[in-house]
Structure 1
Amino acid sequence: MIDVTIQYQQEQRIFALQTKNSSYMFGINDKGRLQHLYWGLPIGVEDCASLLRLSSHSSFDAELDREAEEYSFWGGTCYTEPSLKAIMPDGVRDLSVQYAGHEITEQDGRETLVITLKDKAYPVETKLYYRVIPEYDLVERSAKISNTGDQEIMLESMQSAAWSIPYLQDYRLTHVTGKWSGEFQLRDTLLTEGKKVLESRRGFTDGHANPWFAIDDGQATESEGRVWFGALAWSGNWKLVAEKTAFSHVKITGGINDFDNSWLLGAGDTFETPVFVGGFSDGGFGRMSRHMHHYQYDYVLPNNETRKVLYNSWEATYFNVNAQDQMALAERAARAGVELFVVDDGWFGGRNHDRAGLGDWYVNKEKFPNGLGELIDRVHELGMEFGIWVEPESVNPDSELYRQHPDWVYHFPTRDRTELRNQLLLNISKPEVKQFILAFMTDLLHNHKIKFIKWDMNRTITEPGMKDHSLNRQKEVWVRHVQALYEIWSELRSRFPHVEFETCAGGGSRIDLGIFRFAEQSWPSDNTDAFDRLSIQEGYSYIYAPRTMTCWVTDSPTGMNRRSLSLKYRFHSAMMGTLGIGSNLNEWSDESIGQCAEFVKQYKQIRPLVQFGNQYRLSELKHKGVTAVQYADAAGSEHVLFAFLHSQRLGEPLPRLRLKGLVAGKCYSIDGLPGTWSGRALMNVGIELPLRGDFDSLMYRIREINEKKAGSL
């Protein structure tokens, strides 16, 4: 087995990044450029030394090795997607960069490679950072671009990384697309010559796409095949470009979107790009997902605590929030086993509908005559924690805040201010706006015993003008908004380390590895239809961990589709992440509350598997209308299976479903079913699914037993 480390082979001028099950290699070619060499199953430096060479085809394709440049600088014969593009003080728009040195350091107990590249004539220094996550076959990459001179330099594109994919007969790109109420829908396409661009231009991560990619040869499955993948940690405008050249080289370049974007790099200044993590799996898409999930648990998320069962009052009361109704809901939520009670929109200012009050962050005295403390105390008496909804980045024109500070919002002086959801967007990078948000949030959290914040953002950026910035800095708006958001969240987490945060943006429009450095969980969609959620949650799970995904049980039929679903089906769908309840419990019978409590009890029993275990998407019966997901502990001794049938046709029984992640030679029992089974049988022969009719579901708990001999299937 190859040692897990970062190495530089001086004689062959090759850098080798070794993980548990992969190798990533690049070298310094004869022109002083970093040239990508290999990414895949483990090899040694000597195995790819012959790949480090210059190549050409004709005067029109003079430097083909630049197609595999490790970080592409626009200039000379670089015609592929650039990683860095800049304008020098004298107007030169060309970078001629060479390797200038490197160091291997240790950061947080992990080896980090830092490579320095310098322009031949101008004071531009680029440092490339590589951090290996060996146990999950991942490499984190980012760049720092510095102006070491005394004049300003304009950056026009500053990407995080470029990932070269080895030669494959076909290149299949897997990604997600979506819209409001239909986020995280899986798509795949074969790449042909040219570019496939995934991006957001809306100011946040966006529900229409999400910043990750996966590439395979078109043959990979959930459990087999080689997959190369990556995910960007950025919560603003982003872009991933999958580019295939005429010479069958494929490279994925990604980072902050260069559309309407530039950054003025002052003398002595440095710009740092977001982290772009990439990985390799030889166990299909399933292993890719499991490695990314545990990477988030171990390296990204702000804490590793169990997520509580929550109740959110939005669909019960909407804006008609008041102390008495909320306390009544809290009493019924406590009877159902809820651990965290969350009051949504409508508790503040003149917020009786979505047309007014947003921005006036003081408790509405008509709705809460005794303040929030009365409700919070009652919630605590009932044995629950308390949470609350905020949307600090937006403002209604009909609000005290806007009337006092109309210039705090993004706008162009000669243009109308577009209202979306009757809102405008605050320029949170302005010091006074940032201070306003920190002040009211600090007051809210300091004066009330609040455990949980649902931070919403229901507006894209329009009219992106920044009055207080010079003309040559106007396009920095997109980056500055995200940087300010991160700074605000970082400061709040420092002041109130006990408070947990949920990221929400009209549903799933701000979900990425950047925001998860500050948020424990996310709201993936405003669509709470339990059947629709299956596809949303599937696409979400390709990169993002189940524990980060909040899933509500709401009333049936839903307003989204008018589809009627059983309570069992709705709970089973919502139990595959962090369980929440959003129904109007004041209208539920005592019997329904009791049934709800039983499902919550079941969830708490299997919660460690869902929130900390390994997830397996069992897709072999998808063509039969079956969605099946299994969760297992690290030892393979305890499992839980969720299975859903869309609709039965022609009276046909379902084929057996084969499980994953068990130990072949061990014996297992399945709660509610007689007999025992070997892991070998469950994984190779499978189990029957007694699903019938329309929208049926089941949950099986599967546990290792000590019997020497397994019974029949």
Structure 2
Amino acid sequence: MAITYEGKNKRWFLETENMGYVFGLDEKGKLKNLYWGSKLPRFDDYPGVNDLVVMDRYTWNDEFSVRGEKNNVEHCLKVEYYDGVRDVVLNYVNFEIKGDQLIIKLLDEQYGLSVKLFYRLIEKYDIIERWVELENNSDKEIKIEDIKSASLYVENSKKASLNYLTGMWGSEFHLRKEKINEGSKVLESRVGKTSAYMNPYFAIDYEATEERGKVYFGELAWSGNWKISIQKRIYERIGIISGINEWDFTYILEPSKKFITPKFVFGFSNEGFSKASQNLHHYQLDYILPQDKAHKIRKVLYNSWEATTFNVTEENQKILAEKAAKIGVELFVIDDGWFGQRNDDHAGLGDWYVNKEKFPNGLKPLIEYVKSLGMDFGIWVEPEMVNPDSDLYRNHPDWVINFPNRPRSLQRNQLILNLARQDVKQFIINFMDKLLTENDIDFVKWDMNRHIFESGWSETEVKKQREIWVKYIWNLYDIWKYLREKYPQVTFENCSSGGGRVDLGIMQYADQVWTSDNTDPFDRLEIQEGFSYAYAPKIMMGWVTDWGGKEAYPLEYRFHSSMMGSLGIGADLNKFSEKDFEIAKNQVQFYKEIRKIVQEGYQYRLSSVTNERYFAVQYLNEDKSEGVIIYLRNPMRFGLFDRVNLKLKGLEDEALYTIYEGVKDEEKEVITLSGKALKERGIIIEDSSKKFLTYGKIDHFFSRILKVKKISNNIK
């Protein structure tokens, strides 16, 4: 069984295909974490409570750490009871096993606070989900001041390194690595959403590589303020605590009420970072993404923003739709500017009615025309925001998040609606209902373009005002859940000034995410590389645009950069030459041939764009019979060399593979070798460009895409 309780030593064993996770009760009846790592052959091989290294007079290794009980690791739970007591004492009550779930019940009997620890095993991907349910069984209020989803522990070593994703607007998902030293390292967001500054992902390794070594990893499924703390001392194991950020947060747990934390997802790989990423990717496809569309192929989309910005009209959108259909686009998306008095970003946001000057007969004529061209129709919305210059704000100035007697800070000329309010929640549901009911819409791009600053909520009682941080997100999820259930035909894309709200929480409702507003094809390589450590390629939207200059990047290079996930096009098609249209049509056709492997396959990073002369990513289908290699030169490091030895991964040693190049009807064979040879000796990627280049010229950027096909199961 995957979950086993050993009564003799009072230990619980949670085992997946390759991972073991063990905790037990000590002599005082307190839960202690005992082991997390490679699955061991026997239960007797795992450590017991007496095997813990305890070099301090205070407690460590608590399976669920609290503020109290001599605990000295960062706490998961801190409350204040009605009489001012701030010390939590939890005693073990019982446990229950329900299939792939384990539930441990703890109780602070004096004050009637019940705590349930939930564990769910994802055996195939060596992943465990953890979350916590608090219940107030007393007749008095309990003030929650801090509630995290889990505390974890990994082995202490001077070799331990922390890997995380950081950045800013236009430069998200940059991978960083640093040694873990004594003290605390905090990854967090305080801006009301996941943020571009940090992402709720971590990995700890011990000099691991892509294919070898131990990697412990985790992600938090939460789209608001979050926190991951990594705490180290000289002797004790390294502690990891993750959950909702306690900054500016309290929550009044009323009698008979419950509070459920977001899931903290963690796993282990003994085969390096590649396996860790692949497990996360396919876990997301199989367990996190909305399952009605999780395994459906993402369509090639065109978004008209760069071509027309706010100046959208029925006429100019029809012209763009014709040109998009000409190159094989399957989904046409109209962006900002179709509603209210929205002629720039200063006005109209919040007034979700069709602008009659731009669309005299509404959206239906455009939608019908787009569909007559064989494409689906999509639309952009930003429901959480409002411009001060709007009818909505003039009628409901109290609906925005604000502190009385304090300025209302604008960002991008807009304020943020208080989704924690039920009337605001209902307003958004109502206008989205009207939009989707009256129009044959297949796709919604949902944007969210600012941070929360003045986090006031004066309409509710003072003691509950700091609940805004969680109630906002709960209502956001409720809205998305409602829309998905009522409009199952609609595909939803999550966007927040680019990749500012990418996490497992929103991914339970969004089919894909907008990775970054920065669509420069070379800049995107580092963004997409970092993204790949934590999130599946399928959900990552990449657009072919003119960002960075058409004179700098060949159109093929722009396409190849964008083909590493789900493909979109945002370039101004009105400025395309006939040659551009020919190239674009061929590249779209080519992507359609390889996209199932890219979107559903297993991804291997063959290099790092920050360290190598090139960036190459390989994808393999599950039975290893077909693959794709996407190669792009890194001109910052390339120097004068024009040849690269590329070693493939994941192939079957004894099988015979042929490498091809080109679209299906014009494929050219490059080389045929055994799987082992392709992994050990590799293939040569040879530039067709000049050796001596001037930086910034279009021939400085070179790319190729190769197909891998198994032609025999056995070379003999």
TM-score range, shorter chain: over 0.9
What does 1:148-163 correspond to in 2, within 5 Å? 148-163=137-152
Matched, 1:589 2:577: yes
Residue aligning to 2:178: 189
Task: Summarize the Cα distance change of 1:708–1:547 in structure 2 as closer, same or farther, 3 Å threshold.
Answer: closer
* 1:610-631 superposed Cα distances (whole Å, 9 cap, x missing partner): 1100000012786442101000
* Aligned mate of 1:695, from 671, 694, 701: 701
* Aligned mate of 2:499, from 501, 504, 508: 508
How far is 1:642 from its partner? 0.6
What does 1:178-577 correspond to in 2, within 5 Å? 178-217=167-206, 219-302=207-290, 303-304=293-294, 305-555=296-546, 557-558=548-549, 564-577=552-565
TM-score by length of 1: 0.95
Deviation larger for 314-323 or 665-674: 665-674
Task: Summarize the Cα distance change of 1:179–1:620 in structure 2 as closer, same or farther, 3 Å threshold.
Answer: closer
How far is 1:360 from its partner? 0.2
Contact map agreement 1:556 1:565 (CA 8 A) in 2: no
Deviation larger for 588-597 or 599-608: 588-597
Q: Which amino acid aligns with 2:359?
A: F
Provide the rounded CA distance (Å) in 1 between the counterparts of 2:176 and 2:551.
25
Contact map agreement 1:29 1:53 (CA 8 A) in 2: no
Structure 1 unaligned regions, length at least 5: none
Provide the rounded CA distance (Å) in 1 between the counterparts of 2:76 and 2:263.
14
SS at match of 1:210: strand
What does 1:592-611 correspond to in 2, within 5 Å? 592-611=580-599
SS at match of 2:351: coil
Contact map agreement 2:654 2:714 (CA 8 A) in 1: no
Structure 2 unaligned regions, length at least 5: 661-667, 694-699
Provide the rounded CA distance (Å) in 1 between the counterparts of 2:510 and 2:313.
28
Contact map agreement 1:357 1:396 (CA 8 A) in 2: yes
How far is 1:590 from its partner? 2.7
Q: Which amino acid aligns with 1:279?
A: G
* 1:406-428 superposed Cα distances (whole Å, 9 cap, x missing partner): 00001111101001000001011
Deviation larger for 541-550 or 467-476: 467-476
* Aligned mate of 2:6, from 3, 6, 9: 9
Provide the rounded CA distance (Å) in 1 between the counterparts of 2:644 and 2:462.
65
Residue aligning to 1:678: 674
SS at match of 1:184: strand
How far is 1:653 from its partner? 4.3
SS at match of 1:267: coil
Provide the rounded CA distance (Å) in 1 between the counterparts of 2:610 and 2:54.
47
Matched, 1:174 2:163: yes
How far is 1:201 from its partner? 0.1
Contact map agreement 2:624 2:651 (CA 8 A) in 1: yes
Residue aligning to 2:103: 114
Contact map agreement 1:621 1:657 (CA 8 A) in 2: no
Q: Which amino acid aligns with 2:656?
A: C
Matched, 1:62 2:53: no
How far is 1:649 from its partner? 5.0
Provide the rounded CA distance (Å) in 2 between the counterparts of 1:590 and 1:235.
44
Residue aligning to 1:89: 82
How far is 1:707 from its partner? 8.7
SS at match of 2:634: strand
Task: Summarize the Cα distance change of 1:571–1:358 in structure 2 as closer, same or farther, 3 Å threshold.
Answer: same
Provide the rounded CA distance (Å) in 2 between the counterparts of 1:82 and 1:534.
38
Task: Summarize the Cα distance change of 1:378–1:709 in structure 2 as closer, same or farther, 3 Å threshold.
Answer: same
Task: Summarize the Cα distance change of 1:589–1:102 in structure 2 as closer, same or farther, 3 Å threshold.
Answer: same
* 1:487-507 superposed Cα distances (whole Å, 9 cap, x missing partner): 111111111111111000011
* Aligned mate of 1:79, from 64, 72, 81: 72
Contact map agreement 2:654 2:713 (CA 8 A) in 1: no
* 1:504-549 superposed Cα distances (whole Å, 9 cap, x missing partner): 0011001000000000000010000000000000111101000000
SS at match of 2:322: helix
* 1:331-372 superposed Cα distances (whole Å, 9 cap, x missing partner): 000011000000000000000000000000000000001110
Provide the rounded CA distance (Å) in 2 between the counterparts of 1:649 and 1:571.
21
Contact map agreement 1:163 1:251 (CA 8 A) in 2: yes
Provide the rounded CA distance (Å) in 2 between the counterparts of 1:575 and 1:429.
38
Q: May I ask how many residue pairs the two structures share in their alignment? A: 694
Provide the rounded CA distance (Å) in 1 between the counterparts of 2:306 and 2:608.
36
Q: Which amino acid aligns with 2:447?
A: D
Contact map agreement 1:222 1:619 (CA 8 A) in 2: no
Q: Which amino acid aligns with 1:176?
A: L
How far is 1:52 from its partner? 4.1
* 1:242-263 superposed Cα distances (whole Å, 9 cap, x missing partner): 0002324201100000000011
Contact map agreement 1:551 1:580 (CA 8 A) in 2: yes
Contact map agreement 2:34 2:52 (CA 8 A) in 1: no
Q: Which amino acid aligns with 1:698?
A: R
How far is 1:606 from its partner? 0.3
Q: Which amino acid aligns with 1:16?
A: F
Task: Summarize the Cα distance change of 1:415–1:300 in structure 2 as closer, same or farther, 3 Å threshold.
Answer: same
* 1:216-235 superposed Cα distances (whole Å, 9 cap, x missing partner): 11x11111110001000000
Q: Which amino acid aligns with 2:532?
A: S
Residue aligning to 1:633: 621
Provide the rounded CA distance (Å) in 1 between the counterparts of 2:570 and 2:514.
12
Provide the rounded CA distance (Å) in 2 between the counterparts of 1:591 and 1:534.
26
Q: Which amino acid aligns with 2:43?
A: V
Contact map agreement 1:434 1:484 (CA 8 A) in 2: yes
* Aligned mate of 2:129, from 137, 140, 155: 140
Contact map agreement 2:625 2:709 (CA 8 A) in 1: yes
Provide the rounded CA distance (Å) in 2 between the counterparts of 1:18 and 1:237.
31
Provide the rounded CA distance (Å) in 1 between the counterparts of 2:47 and 2:713.
53
Percent same amino acid at aligned positions?
A: 47
Provide the rounded CA distance (Å) in 2 between the counterparts of 1:623 and 1:216.
19
Q: Which amino acid aligns with 1:185?
A: H
SS at match of 1:596: helix
Provide the rounded CA distance (Å) in 1 between the counterparts of 2:453 and 2:63.
35
TM-score by length of 2: 0.95
Provide the rounded CA distance (Å) in 2 between the counterparts of 1:165 and 1:306.
38
Provide the rounded CA distance (Å) in 2 between the counterparts of 1:622 and 1:478.
36
Provide the rounded CA distance (Å) in 1 between the counterparts of 2:268 and 2:54.
29
* 1:449-470 superposed Cα distances (whole Å, 9 cap, x missing partner): 1011000000111211112211
Provide the rounded CA distance (Å) in 2 between the counterparts of 1:187 and 1:311.
33
Matched, 1:38 2:35: yes
Contact map agreement 1:618 1:629 (CA 8 A) in 2: yes
Provide the rounded CA distance (Å) in 1 between the counterparts of 2:554 and 2:363.
35
